[in-house]
Chain A
């Protein structure tokens, strides 16, 4: 028999071992891999789709034949200009269908006439018409419908990642209770190290997924030539990742402590519902009130909704530079408090199997 050399692990080493196991086991789960790939593909698909629809709206070119001064028109990107010598040649090209319309010299104030086959080419007429100048007194920084999509994007990604990994951590806590392996674990390491390892492991996984999605979004925007959008969206994506990292630790501690109160997988739902609400309410708010300044401002400071609210305000340009920092501090402080209480509940509930443990009992110990 080998005599192994044992030395006491530090808190950090124990937590790292636990976190390592969480990550390894999750990466081995097919369900996890498949759901991650689907989420990633959905993000890439929406960016590619956005680029295709955007392109078809703006880059549809009209083929025209031009008699006379074609120089000026050749500059217009949406026109594919063919220069011809005479009005007759132009008419022939139109009749043959080689061009959609021809611009020829004409009378009237514009000095040009348009030849078309059987229908007036609306977009060409519009292009050549003089429009009055418009001045917006209160211009929006961002396009409205796009802002809604961005808000929805942050909302969905946060909601999905938080519920996916929140549920994962809850199941992993109950798995240890229901299989009773927790008693062996607790004879080796402290309950706090166990909790810390679980939260760290799942935060790494969740954050890894979020960073992957963010990278896919950024690369997707660049590849599909939507650099301009990236310029607007980039900073808020980065802030989203930062807020998510801290916000998720908070949620993970809540999920773990709640799950520690029960001993069977079937009972997880009953104790994690309040926590699930904390994840769902911000999601509904961003969907329903994405353009309400007051609600967004409140959301951006409430720890549970800040990971959605603050990046959204940064995107809309309504947040001062110090606001994300202040909000981040509020989340951090809340996280410390929740982790302290949570680890107490967790440690005191782990060995109580059977009936659900009451929170007050768990806090008392």
Chain B
């Protein structure tokens, strides 16, 4: 488990990170969401040891991280980049070896990854000659080539075409399945919602929410329900403890003071006639995010 504990970073008077604390569980895909300048990249750089924190610690499996541990991290920086004039496979082998992988293992792992990411045919092309999408795949390969035990990806999906997104998702799931903590940031909240086990929300350098996706939904749940009936549902307005937010013929969206009031509406609806649907309204991550960062 990767633990970020009380990490603070200041640039002059500006506090970029304010006692940032959260966890990335083993085998958990953790989404890291926040607006531009919220502190996502700074946090990731500190986890990787590329930047140093003013205070706070980063621990893996309970012990404070040192440079030797960080070699086993896979990192995809927000600012993408590889050596433009170096061949794809050669570059991946080089990066793997910098992480301490033997030449033979580095070559085997490179061949494997290029196959998986459908880049095998371009192995001897220079990076600059690749299409943008393929450069992104090469970048992902660079983060994975040394079989990292922890994966930190800064906006891994930005600029990817939908097919590449699926490929990358597959790879990320594999890594998580091996038991690696995976942390990735994204602006695409729908992707995070679909993909992640856990979510961490950051705003202005402060963690606003963190935990499992379910918990985030529960914590920010509102008692809103949607009802769809065959006949006119105007009667819902007269129910005690209920406020109707939206109404259209047989459809009503209402907020109930408590569960009992909501159940009352359902019972009444069943008495009136057939009920097509009755469900608590599921708020999207986007809505929750907007509220949490306010």
Q: Which residues of A come within 8 Å of B, CB atoms?
A: 1-9, 13-14, 17-18, 21, 25, 175-176, 179-190, 351, 353
Contacts and interface: CB of A to CB of B under 8 A. Distances in A.
A187 B49 contact: yes
Contacts, number: 97
B129 to A, nearest CB: 14
Interface in B106-151: 106, 108-109, 112-113, 116, 142-143, 145-147
Contacts of B143: 184
Interface string B37-59: 00000000100111100000000
A181 B143 CA distance: 12
Nearest to B110: A2
Nearest to B72: A6
Contact of A184 (B75, B101, B105): B75
The size bracket of the interface on B is 35 or more
A21 to B, nearest CB: 6
B80 interface: yes
B155 to A, nearest CB: 13
A179 B101 contact: no
Nearest to A353: B79
Contact of B100 (A7, A183, A186): A7
A183 B147 contact: no
10 contacts: A2-B105, A4-B109, A6-B101, A8-B67, A14-B98, A182-B81, A183-B79, A184-B77, A188-B99, A353-B79
Given A4-B105, A18-B98, 10 more contacts: A4-B101, A4-B147, A6-B100, A6-B101, A6-B147, A7-B100, A9-B98, A181-B83, A184-B95, A353-B79
Given A4-B147, A183-B79, A188 B98 contact: yes
A8 B100 contact: yes
A140 B45 CA distance: 65
A175 B98 contact: no
Contact of A9 (B49, B100, B108): B100
B174 A188 contact: no
4 shortest interchain CB distances as A-B pairs: A180-B81, A8-B68, A4-B105, A180-B79
Contact of B108 (A2, A6, A25, A189): A2
B163 to A, nearest CB: 20
B176 to A, nearest CB: 13
Contact of A181 (B68, B73, B81, B146): B81
Contacts of B142: 184
B116 A1 contact: yes
Contacts of A176: 83
Contacts of A18: 98
A9 to B, nearest CB: 5
A353 B109 CA distance: 32
Interface in B222-251: none
A2 B112 contact: yes
A5 B101 contact: yes
Nearest to A189: B98
A189 B71 CA distance: 8
Interface in B197-214: none
Given A184-B77, A190-B67, A17 B97 contact: yes
Given A1-B147, A8-B68, A181 B50 contact: no
Contacts of A190: 67
Nearest to B128: A179
A189 to B, nearest CB: 5
A220 B116 CA distance: 56
A100 B94 CA distance: 73
B70 interface: yes
User: Which of B45, B72, B97, B113 has the most CB atoms of chain A within a 10 A radius of its CB?
Assistant: B97
B174 A4 contact: no
Nearest to A5: B105
A9 B70 CA distance: 12
B82 interface: yes
Contacts of B113: 1
A195 to B, nearest CB: 14
Given A4-B101, A6-B99, A187 B108 contact: no
B86 interface: yes
Contacts of B109: 1-2, 4
Contact of B77 (A14, A21, A180): A180
Contact of B48 (A3, A179, A187, A353): A187
Contacts of A5: 101-102, 105
A261 B158 CA distance: 29
Nearest to B49: A187
A264 to B, nearest CB: 14
Contact of B95 (A6, A188, A351): A188
Contacts of A181: 81-83
B51 A351 contact: yes
Given A1-B116, A7-B100, A184 B81 contact: yes
Contacts of B70: 187
Given A8-B71, A185-B98, A1 B79 contact: no
